Amino acid sequence: MKNVAANSKLIKKLNRMNVLNILKRHGSVSRQELAAITGLTGPAITGIVKELLTIGFVKETGLGVSQGGRKPMQLEINPEAGYVFGVEVTRHEVSMGMANLTADPVLLQRRAVDMSAPKPGIDNFVRVIGSAARMADRKGQLLALGVAFPGLIDVATGTVKRSVNLGPEWSGYPIRAALEERLGVKVFIENNSNASALAERWFGDCADCRDLVYINWGEGISAGVLTDERILQGYRGYAGEIGHIVIQEGGPLCNCGNRGCLETICGIPALERKVASELPFIRADDPIRERAAAGLVSIEDVIDCAGAEGSYCAELMRQVARYVGYAVADVVNILNPQVVFLGGRMARAATLNRALIEETVRSHAFPEVAAATELMISSLDGRAGFSGACALALRETMESSHSDLLKGGEEHQVLLSRRTI
């Protein structure tokens, strides 16, 4: 019985989000139209709309055109109902954005800070967020703060299990509790790839898909998976670690302890190391040699030079595109998503060799499954992280109980007061 009750609660939450999504996309819709689009019954829609009107997320805007009977009351999202903050954390940087119920996130601040350990990382985080929050143009109440964090997160307890990118001192750190205490605001935290998948669903090119995979291709490689609208967490919340698919038996040592993982061949640090070690053997007239003469070679230099046909970098980027294609084929075979997005700092490299990645996926995935999946390059660029954190905060807020939402208010004052400095 417990499961039945939990399921109907979840269905109610998903239906509420579905209604808000439709209102977001269509602008102005009547209850009858909502019933027709969602396939839900009239009384179910009436109940959901009543809740959304009570918490102020939706407003009635006047009578629409009659379809034969009474003129229907039109509904719209109330953009001034509230807003959320979304923060992306990387080892050397914190980026904070803001979004309301209708508009896409805007970047408020991107600041270089040391996040390599909880101390002084949390102090730095709180300082950046506090000053950006006070400068933001806000309307309505602050609903929540979302955080996109690089590493394995226990979402249920808001604890960092392990963050290879940030540092070992984060292991076991209760980040959600620490931030809620310091900021006085409801905090939601997710792994950055999961958050990016949410960003594609809410703000990207995939407004209609409920099954998608976002592959974050950067320093590490991991996937955020939405299946039927829900983030795939796995048994312990670690689903999506595709960077550790073994591509080359006995290959380079990975920081996970294995050898030949995808990350050790296609991750940014691995690529930069490879180029640096092979530089002396590259032809003197190759464009990368010219870049190297001007200083250290970065992955951006490598991608720039990959545009030159026949160059060292063109061949290197083709090789890694093939490897990433194998991983995407695995993902497609296992999950059968509607869309696979390639994003992260290496998205430009994926654009360059998109046809090759597609061809590799087609020839290595089960034909019917591959044919049903679209490969897209994320258009969110550097915005995926903080946009995903905003999407997480919005989504969790919409899933919150009635009473939680009505409470709102005064607890958020801490974040907006001087006390956070």
Q: Which of residues 172-211 bind Zn ion (CB under 5 A)?
A: none
- Closest approach, Cβ 317 to Zn ion, in A, equals 22
Nearest to 206 by CA among 351, 342, 300, 319: 342
- Closest approach, Cβ 274 to Zn ion, in A, equals 16
Question: Of 106 and 256, which CB lies nearer to Zn ion in the complex structure?
Answer: 256
Helix (H, G, I), strand (E, B) or coil at 268: helix
Q: Kindly report each contact of residues 270-276 with a partner whose C-beta sits within 8 Å and lies 24 or more positions away, as own/partner.
A: 271/299, 271/302, 271/316, 271/320, 272/297, 272/298, 272/299, 272/302, 274/316, 275/302, 275/313, 275/316
- Closest approach, Cβ 270 to Zn ion, in A, equals 11
Q: Which of residues 327-346 bind Zn ion (CB under 5 A)?
A: none
Cα-flanking dihedrals φ and ψ of residue 343, to 5°?
Answer: -140, -170
Distance (Å, whole) CA 222 – CA 386: 17
Question: Of 118 and 150, which CB lies nearer to Zn ion in the complex structure?
Answer: 150
88: which strand partners? 95, 148
Counting residues that bind Zn ion (by CB under 5 A) gives: 5
- Closest approach, Cβ 267 to Zn ion, in A, equals 10
Distance (Å, whole) CA 165 – CA 149: 10
Q: Which of residues 212-271 bind Zn ion (CB under 5 A)?
A: 244, 254, 256, 258, 261
- Closest approach, Cβ 266 to Zn ion, in A, equals 12
- Closest approach, Cβ 262 to Zn ion, in A, equals 8
Question: Of 157 and 258, which CB lies nearer to Zn ion in the complex structure?
Answer: 258
- Any residues with CB less than 8 A from the CB of 36 and at least 6 apart, and which? none
Distance (Å, whole) CA 192 – CA 171: 16
- Report cis status (omega within 30 of 0) of the bond before 120: yes
Question: Of 195 and 254, which CB lies nearer to Zn ion in the complex structure?
Answer: 254
- Closest approach, Cβ 401 to Zn ion, in A, equals 40
Question: Of 61 and 258, which CB lies nearer to Zn ion in the complex structure?
Answer: 258
Question: Of 155 and 256, which CB lies nearer to Zn ion in the complex structure?
Answer: 256
Question: Of 157 and 248, which CB lies nearer to Zn ion in the complex structure?
Answer: 248
Q: Which strands make up the sheet holding 141-149, listed edge to edge?
A: 106-112, 93-100, 82-89, 141-149, 187-191
Which residues of this protein are in contact with Zn ion, per CB under 5 A? 244, 254, 256, 258, 261
